[in-house]
Amino acid sequence: MVEEEIKTAQRKFHLASVRARKERVLIASEIAKLAMEENLVEIAFKAATMAVADEWDAQKNADLVIAQSECHFVLSSCYVENLLEEEIERIEEIQLVRGGGSSEQ
């Protein structure tokens, strides 16, 4: 009887652990989407990265796979924002160099 109780407790613990992981993925997905809407790129990137860290069975957990695919889109948007920011910084540097060079001539 004790062994059965142990197995039951382990199974309940495992199910609770899986449920908690699922909730974390869904919450992280929502945070990522909301942060991206507010142009909080770093927060969106971290939350989306957390949401896509685990793999889920598409047949058993379709909602999680959908949330992860949305987070992949958020991640790609974060990469684009970072690249655009770097490009703007480089253009400003070039303009400063050209501006500084033309004032000396």
**53-83 pLDDT per residue, tens:** 999 899 999 999 999 999 999 999 999 999 9
Count CB neighbours of 36 within 10 A: 23
For the entire predicted model, the pTM comes to 0.75
The answer to whether 32 and 74 have CB atoms below 8 angstroms apart is yes
- Tell me the percentage of the chain whose pLDDT exceeds 90: 60
- Cα separation of 43 and 7, whole Å? 40
For 102, the token pair is 């033309």
For 8, the token pair is 């039951």
Burial class (CB in 10 A: 0-12, 13-18, 19+), 77: middle
